[in-house]
Structure 1
Amino acid sequence: MNDEKKSVCIVGAGISGLCAIKETREVGFEPFCFELCRDVGGVFNLALNGGRVYDNCHLTVSSRFMLMSSYPTSKIEHWHHSEYLKYIQDFSKEFDLLKHISFHTEVKWIEKEGDKWRVTTKSVLDDSTQTKLFDAVAICCGTHQIPKKIDLPGIEQFKGKVVHTKDYYNNESFVGKKVVSVGFGESGADIIKEVSNVAGSMTMSIRSYPFILPRQPDKAHTLSTDSHPVIILAALSQPIDWYLRPLRAIVLILGTAVTSCLYLIGSFLFRNNSDKEESKPKLDSFRQPIDNGPMIDLNTPSTKEHFELMHSWAMFDKTCPANKFCTKNATCVPNIVSGKLQVNASGIKTFEHNKVIFNDGTSADCEVLLACIGYDDAFPFLDSKYHPPQGVRSLYLHAFHPDQDLCSLSFIGFNRPSIGGIPLCSELICRYWALLISGQRSLPADVAVRAKVQARKETEQFALSPGVNSLMFLPDFLHEVVHQIGCEPNIPTILKYGGFHLLLKILTANPIPHLFRLKGPGATPELSAKAIFVSEGSVDFWFGVWLALQNALADLGIKRVPAYSLHDYSYNHGQTYRDYFFKYCGLSNLDAPLDKYKYIKT
């Protein structure tokens, strides 16, 4: 009998790679992680060559979706990148992961040999090479590897300087310059704001209007964007066959009545007995003093004009996070509204030496072109026959080849939710993959069909964001991967580890990711219950009650168009989402977009 441990090769020691080490080790594998740089952290380690953060970078989602459910924190905040790096380093030490990592080591080639994988590595210190066979391979190098090339008409005529955001650390070199930016995105929103603060002039060139959501969109503007899911609304607000709608209407009405009573009772029983003013938070999720006035984002005050611009841009193309990538960063909005940052939404037609010509006939002088255009996935070390056929979206759950014989190869860290964090998805993929390679689970028999359906659905759903191949819809992903792992929570388990109070928290707040550690493989129910108790939800409970009743009326045919949930797009083109965050929580009163925010000369 051969008792030798099976081995797994892990490429990259960012948060996804570290999670892969932990989860594969827990199912009996011996993990070997190869990291090109000298420390863990990946793109969040500014001191490394692979670092992709800038000096003032704060996370676009809160620590809730950036942490590991096996290593929770007591507070949900928007960390500075240095704080998140410390969390990653602490995580690696807590679970003794560093001993499995070979630093200063580049993976040169991976190819299949029988039922194993032949991996060749090279030390960047002495150029020595080594080849070893592994039972499984996890690609955890991330999505920020190769900057996208600028493909714009006439770019070869441009005589100014081109700066990709990968080379941006601060705005010092842009002081007094005439700048035009192309592209947008979450990091781009920060960088464009910082540059426009010091540039002599700056124009932001876009071809479509981004869907911008502040990082503190709740009514009080103290909680994170990702605090908003309410499990009961998501569960009871999905499209179903017409003949089942009256039954669901009854469930919604009775459920709403019962939940409202439980909420009132729970608010009384579990209220903080300390003085109300003392228990009131003094700082928001960015640790900004609340007494200084509501801030919808970092150093971004809540004003009517700010919400009207974001609301108008969302209404122009009827966008929401269910049909377009959600830019969870509104820090540049004040500069747009004030005019410090000019916008042209017609796209770039061509370049003339030190000038940019836009499609609407206007132009802007340009000494520096700032490219906020993102990155391409690249796997130069992997035999091309095992590359994702049409990008990571063609993989099942963005992680697995739709071929049962290749489940020992995984791509981890390539799930980018429209709202949510990559680490949340990476942890679940790592848990599932560990179960796959240890023989405790298998890919679905129809995995190839599921992969095709998933790819087609995501491509159609996010047609307005065609350049983000890793983009996916978090609720759909969670439903699938949690089922495959077998970690769906149930009421007996919830009551066992937290009683009625825990059930109420799960129904009315955001218990993710800890909800999926209550039962199943790798469960840590006591730790998870403790973390859920401090979770919050930024959807106003009584708005949720109203939404549920609206859905009940729609199911009964009394209301013509259903509201459904904040997550559903198909029935009202995201209007429920836009109305909630821009009107109910925000200061916009618009029913139609304002033409002054089109930024196209006619």
Structure 2
Amino acid sequence: MKVCVVGAGPCGLTTIKQLRDEGHEVVCFDKNADIGGIWLRHAGDDDEMKAFDNLMLTISMKLMAYSDHPFKGGRVFYSRKQYYGYLRDYADRFRLRDHIRFGSEVTDVRKTGGSWMVSVRRDGVESSEEFGAVAICSGPFKTPNRAIAGLEGFDGEIVHSAQYRNNERFRGKRVLIVGLAESGADIVREIGDVAESATLSIRSYTWLLPRVFEGDKTTDYGTVRSHHHEMLRRSTDYPFPLQTFWGRNRFAKAVFLAASVILGFITAGVGGLRGELARRTGRKPDEPALNPMGEPVRPFKMDLGTPEDEANWEMLRTWNRRSHPDGSWTQRGIFCKNVTFIPSLVSGKVTLNDAGIDRSDGKKVFFKDATAADFDTVVLCTGFTTERLAIGDLTVRDGNVRNLYKHSIPPEHDGTAAFIGFVRPFSGGIPICAEMQARYFARLCSGKQKLPADVDDRILREKQWEEYWTALSPRHTESIPSQVVYLDSIAKEMGVLVPMWRMLINPKLFKQLWFGSFNQSCYRIVGPHNLGKAALEDLYAEPVGRLRNAVWDMSLLQLMPKNVHPKHMM
């Protein structure tokens, strides 16, 4: 099939690759001069949405990589430039540029009978081309959300975070930062370092998660399947709509969970004996010189430039308590995996106001707690709108990607259209989500995959489940509570999820998949386009033993009734 791909950022690149793997003819249109999307920087990009100068990933490269181009350097955080280099290597390795027409902006997409007519503007000239299928991979970061109530009367400078590059333009100014997200945390810290005064205005508290723990580990090292299933499946009576290793078979599920308890106790026990032996003999694992952020391990840090001291921890604990005013510790909202602004709050470089903005007049902003202050500049870290989730005949109902199958496939187009990459895991990388969506779409185009007969019912059930688990982030309809269970459900349909029987006869594989740190190489072990032994070797690169306490806890919880689960899992 001849397939059109719109956008050559991280999501578009993997879509080209997966379509080519299925033998399709691919034409990708991108308005930029090279690959990379928001990661590509160029002169004159000040008004475009681009990654800012000092950005560092909030997910380790192990999870920001593609499964067909795994990262071999362990769990470390890359800078903007380093990640762009990874994308270039991926494009070069698979010769993806051969299928991209740069400097070409898609202006319209129309359905004509059984095909799609795509209109493109290049060098001021409009042309049209016919395709059998279309994938929109241009991403959700299109229209900055600038409609902030209470700022209508402000006559100073207003800048959206999409335009932020560095803190120089804010040096010596009185700055109000509105809202907080992962990039917003960096912006708050950077502006606080140079501004005359800086105030952070929020209306609610987002759950904060440091990027580093125990000095030398990434927090996403603790992303474990058994933990996600315990939180989202066993700790609540809310129906779990997604399929995993055991499918819908209750007997298979019972066998699997029994095996998990047995193997869990064995794994935790062996790990405990090894730890005790190491303690008695005085053997200690070699401590790296640098932590995952590239900073010296000693003294320990919880994030970039963020010491692991009591003042920072107390501020972090206080913030997270306020994020769940009902007393529950279930993270039912988007995480902010960046706490680098915490020292700025502790030191007083940045003042926090959580009352919200009431009104503004000239340079003065009035808050709802009856306080007011003068500002030269307002920086909006308020995200993006969903109004651009439509082009021609390709639309997303209500701008809500949960109305698509797996956040991707509009069922009314019989598998010939997809929105790739319009998904945001609470914790995890978007690129692997886009890759799995693209693999599914590529097989739909090949006729090797069919949408489920009850696709509309599945969309509704999964949408309701996601809305339940993301209740504290109702505006972010692209969010999903668990990357792991979401990807497993797609993999199960495609036949690239490791079969349960194979796990039962291979305890090492079982332990790695169920109790080990999540690694997307698990989707290249079996099924179409698998990498076989190479995928297994990458999966086994991180020993399960380092998580023995978590394995012990998960195994115990499998034996406990729901009403005695820890408070943070209810």
Provide the TM-score with structure 1 as the length reference: 0.84
Given candidates 383, 396, 404, the residue that maps to 1:395 is: 404
Given candidates 170, 179, 203, the residue that maps to 1:207 is: 203
Distance 1:111 1:312 in 2: 52
Shift of 1:258: 2.6
Tell me, what secondary structure is at the counterpart of 1:156? coil
Distance 2:396 2:264 in 1: 48
Who is 1:160 aligned against? Answer: 156
Distance 1:30 1:312 in 2: 54
Who is 2:17 aligned against? Answer: 22
Tell me, what secondary structure is at the counterpart of 2:359? strand
Given candidates 245, 253, 267, the residue that maps to 1:259 is: 267
Given candidates 504, 521, 530, the residue that maps to 1:514 is: 521
Who is 2:422 aligned against? Answer: 414
Provide the TM-score with structure 2 as the length reference: 0.88
Who is 1:227 aligned against? Answer: 221
Q: How does 1:470-489 map to 2 (within 5 A)?
A: 470-473=478-481, 474-489=483-498
* CA gap 1:279/1:430 in 2 versus in 1, 3 angstroms: same
1:175-224 residue CA offsets vs partner (Å, 9 max, x unmatched): 111111111100000011100111111110000011111111x3x13222
Shift of 1:350: 0.5
| Equivalent AA in structure 2 for residue 203 of structure 1 | T
Who is 1:427 aligned against? Answer: 435
C-alpha contact 2:6 2:28 (8 A) present in aligned 1: yes
Given candidates 293, 296, 310, the residue that maps to 1:286 is: 293
Given candidates 453, 459, 483, the residue that maps to 1:451 is: 459
| Equivalent AA in structure 2 for residue 68 of structure 1 | Y
1:369-417 residue CA offsets vs partner (Å, 9 max, x unmatched): 11001112354872256333442122111101133x3421000011100
Shift of 1:326: 0.2
Given candidates 182, 193, 200, the residue that maps to 1:197 is: 193
Distance 1:34 1:215 in 2: 35
Query: Which ranges of structure 2 fall in alignment gaps of 5 or more residues?
Result: 238-249
Who is 1:327 aligned against? Answer: 336
Moved more, 58-67 or 144-153: 144-153
C-alpha contact 2:387 2:399 (8 A) present in aligned 1: no
Who is 1:7 aligned against? Answer: 2
| Equivalent AA in structure 1 for residue 524 of structure 2 | R
* CA gap 1:380/1:433 in 2 versus in 1, 3 angstroms: closer
| Equivalent AA in structure 1 for residue 459 of structure 2 | A
| Equivalent AA in structure 2 for residue 22 of structure 1 | K
1:513-537 residue CA offsets vs partner (Å, 9 max, x unmatched): 1111110111112221121122367
Who is 1:546 aligned against? Answer: 553
Residue 62 (1) aligns with residue 64 (2): no
Q: How does 1:306-325 map to 2 (within 5 A)?
A: 306-318=312-324, 322-325=331-334
Tell me, what secondary structure is at the counterpart of 2:380? strand
C-alpha contact 2:271 2:546 (8 A) present in aligned 1: no
How many residues align? The count is: 545
Who is 1:149 aligned against? Answer: 146
Residue 348 (1) aligns with residue 357 (2): yes
C-alpha contact 2:223 2:517 (8 A) present in aligned 1: yes
Who is 1:118 aligned against? Answer: 117
| Equivalent AA in structure 2 for residue 519 of structure 1 | V
C-alpha contact 2:58 2:337 (8 A) present in aligned 1: yes
Residue 127 (1) aligns with residue 127 (2): no
Q: How does 1:489-568 map to 2 (within 5 A)?
A: 489-490=498-499, 503-535=510-542, 540-554=547-561, 560-563=563-566
| Equivalent AA in structure 2 for residue 367 of structure 1 | D
Who is 2:174 aligned against? Answer: 178
Who is 1:81 aligned against? Answer: 80
C-alpha contact 1:228 1:538 (8 A) present in aligned 2: no
Distance 1:165 1:45 in 2: 17
C-alpha contact 1:213 1:328 (8 A) present in aligned 2: yes
Who is 1:102 aligned against? Answer: 101
1:208-264 residue CA offsets vs partner (Å, 9 max, x unmatched): 011111111x3x132222211233444567328999999999766534333334546
Tell me, what secondary structure is at the counterpart of 1:157? coil
- Alignment identity in percent? 30
Distance 2:543 2:40 in 1: 29
| Equivalent AA in structure 1 for residue 290 of structure 2 | L
* CA gap 1:192/1:240 in 2 versus in 1, 3 angstroms: closer
Who is 1:599 aligned against? Answer: none
Distance 2:355 2:390 in 1: 39
Shift of 1:421: 0.9
Shift of 1:316: 2.5
Distance 1:196 1:221 in 2: 25
